[in-house]
Amino acid sequence: MIKVNDEDVKQFESDLKTFAKRAYPFATKNALNKAAFVAQSIYRSNARSNMIHRNKFTNQSIQVEQARTLAVSRQASIVGSTAPYMLDQEFGKNITKKGDRGVPIATSYAAGQGEGSQPRTRLPRKANSMATIQLAKRRKRGKTKRQQNFILVREAAQSGRKYIFMDLGRKKGIFKVIGGKRRPRIKMIYDLSEKSVIIPANPMLKPAVDQTRKHMPGIYRKSLEFQLKRQGLFKG
């Protein structure tokens, strides 16, 4: 239901209900849909400003479901995202580990920003995404953890495997093996040390809706004016 305090708008509404009852549902429907698209535009702008985007998927996931019915009491237009992770952004989430390894946190090196760049401002490169990484089953060789890790890196370099899981004690993670067979080196691309990670709430939809509410009287007024003009009841 549209509620406004503007006296002119109330008068337009009254005139339309009195002299062109059939036109009134069109005015409310059009106002709701117009407001929904305004909110969509602001939501998309907020997402571009507040999130790291690899492609257009996030923005395209923010969609509008328009009001269709002319039954005023049932009219509703909906703005939201079809991407499930946008819900986590809006309200926050606590992610806990699965299995014996921790929650994967991408490093700045994985995003191509250099080692130790904080905060990371890009998504991991496609080649470094968790979905594309394949890890071989680890076989423990060597008496100490240091010996085991040394052998693991050397064998990975010799066999051409790029990614390995290593337990360094305080730190655990997925590492990329670089530098060739003779002098292999490792760079952490995912830190798996934490048992749980809290994604803080990053509201983008609510601010968009709040901002749209400020425009609502003007949007509703224009919709009422349009219908009044179509009925020959207003000349402005």
DSSP track, 113-178: S-TT-SS--SPPPGGGSTTT---PPP---SSSHHHHHHHHHHHHHHHT--EEEEE-SS-EEEEEEE
48 and 140 belong to one structural domain: no
The 10s digit of each residue's pLDDT in 20-43 is 688 889 999 999 999 999 999 999
Rounded CA separation 87/80 (Å): 9
How many domains is the chain partitioned into structurally?
2
Decide if 123 is inside a domain: yes
What sign does the dihedral 26-29-33-34 (CA atoms) show? positive
46 and 101 belong to one structural domain: no
15 and 81 belong to one structural domain: yes
Could you tell me which residue, 233 or 126, shows the higher pLDDT? 126
Decide if 183 is inside a domain: yes
Q: Which of 61-65, 142-146, 150-154, 209-213 has the lowest mean pLDDT?
A: 142-146
Q: What is the pLDDT of residue 234?
A: 63
Q: Which helix (H) or strand (E) element contains residue 19?
A: helix 7-19
Rounded CA separation 204/195 (Å): 28
State the residue range of the domain holding 106: 95-198
Task: Determine what percent of the chain is predicted with pLDDT higher than 90.
Answer: 31
23 and 108 belong to one structural domain: no
41 and 80 belong to one structural domain: yes
Decide if 235 is inside a domain: no
163 and 178 belong to one structural domain: yes
99 and 192 belong to one structural domain: yes
Could you tell me which residue, 197 or 131, shows the higher pLDDT? 197
The 10s digit of each residue's pLDDT in 198-222 is 889 999 999 999 999 999 999 998 9
Decide if 24 is inside a domain: yes
126 and 217 belong to one structural domain: no
136 and 43 belong to one structural domain: no
181 and 114 belong to one structural domain: yes
pTM, full prediction: 0.71
Q: What is the pLDDT of residue 1?
A: 45
Decide if 2 is inside a domain: no
- Phi first, then psi: what are they for 155, rounded to 5°? -65, -40
Q: Which of 68-72, 108-112, 217-221 has the lowest mean pLDDT?
A: 108-112
Rounded CA separation 218/31 (Å): 9
194 and 206 belong to one structural domain: no
Record the tokens describing residue 190, joined without a space. Answer: 């995912």
187 and 211 belong to one structural domain: no
Decide if 1 is inside a domain: no
